[in-house]
Amino acid sequence: MDEVCPLLDLRMSDVVTVGETMALMAPETTGALFHTPLLRLGIGGAESNVAIGLQRLGTSAAWVGRVGNDSLGDLIVRELTAEGLRVHAVRDANAPTGLMIKERRTPLNQRVWYYRSGSAGSRLRPGDLPTGLVESSRVLHISGITPALSTSAAGTVAEAVRAARASGTVVSFDVNYRRALWSPETATAACRELAAQADIVFAGEDEAAMLVGPGPAADLARRLADLGAGQVVVKRGEQGCTAVIDDRLYDQPAISVTVVDTVGAGDAFVAGYLHQFLLGADVPTRLLAAVRNAAFVCLSPGDWEGLPRDGDLALLTDAEAVQR
């Protein structure tokens, strides 16, 4: 029988995320994995990365997911709880927690192997959603990863979106295409449908082109907005971002930093944007916050460990090297 780790507080989450978080093993050094004597054990998942990013900035966040009834599941629950998230984790006694292993062949390039087929997270189902959680939140954030995991996971995302739309909760959707999970054709159909139901859509340039056809960033953003979302942001990496918000076009340059690790930058971007959106900030402030957050996380290794707290962001431009 499944066990449930209950939420700390159903009433106090501005944002709820739904998705799979996995255990993560990564080397501390660069080189072939078969010559790496030690791997660091941690966790990672697109939706929980966003939730942690929001929580650190001061926006309360909840995470809903399914983990195995094993030590790796314990690790995930412990880490997310320690970050202050409202954790609703179904413990699956019949499937293991998913695992990903990283290999860093060069300082800025890495490969990832996923061991998630048949994982607890892939067995996520609509009944795992706590009653009233989505409806009581201000934003539901989902990604294109979760519906790619299984039919039941896709159904869970669909149910969460249905509940959000019925209750007036804002739907935020990051395309987050993973070629290892599904084909471009299948992903395009599913992600276009989710984008049409979302209020806020985030996509990389390649992802946007997959959904609406190739073109300049401004055209990609406009064509994505034509699917129905009032806010569309095309993430452009070191070029910053281009957005169409309420039919108006915006461009925001990136912030230049010395990059250590780009993994997690997209999730940090989303967290920065949503945090300022919920504060009622204007569009330029939201986009600047997004690129600042993304730049900051690139300064540290790891998927989410380098996510900043609100006061940390000033360090990007602070001239005083030592603070006393």
The residues carrying an active-site annotation are: 267
Q: Please report how many Cα atoms fall inside a 13 Å half-sphere around the Cα of residue 14, on the Cβ side.
A: 18
Cross-strand partners of 18: 64
E-strand spans in 163-238? 170-174, 200-204, 231-235
Length of the chain: 324
Give the other-Cβ count within 10 Å of 256's Cβ: 9
For residues 180-207, one letter each, b for 16 or more C-beta atoms within 10 angstroms of the residue's C-beta and e for the rest, the string is ebbeeeebbebbbebbebbbbbbbbbeb
Q: Please report how many Cα atoms fall inside a 13 Å half-sphere around the Cα of residue 269, on the Cβ side.
A: 30
Alpha helices in 103-183 (DSSP H): 133-136, 146-149, 151-167
Q: Which residue has the tokens 């603070």?
A: 323
Who contacts 198 (Cβ-Cβ below 8 Å, separation ≥6)?
A: 161, 171, 172, 173, 228, 229
Give the pair of three-digit tokens for residue 315: 């360090």
> Residue 268 in 3-state DSSP?
helix
Q: Are 197 and 165 in contact (CB under 8 A)?
A: yes
**Cα Rg for the chain, rounded, in angstroms?**
19
For residues 25-48, one letter each, b for 16 or more C-beta atoms within 10 angstroms of the residue's C-beta and e for the rest, the string is bbbeeeeebeebeeeeebbbbbbb
Alpha carbons 267 and 181: distance in angstroms, whole number: 19
Alpha carbons 63 and 151: distance in angstroms, whole number: 20
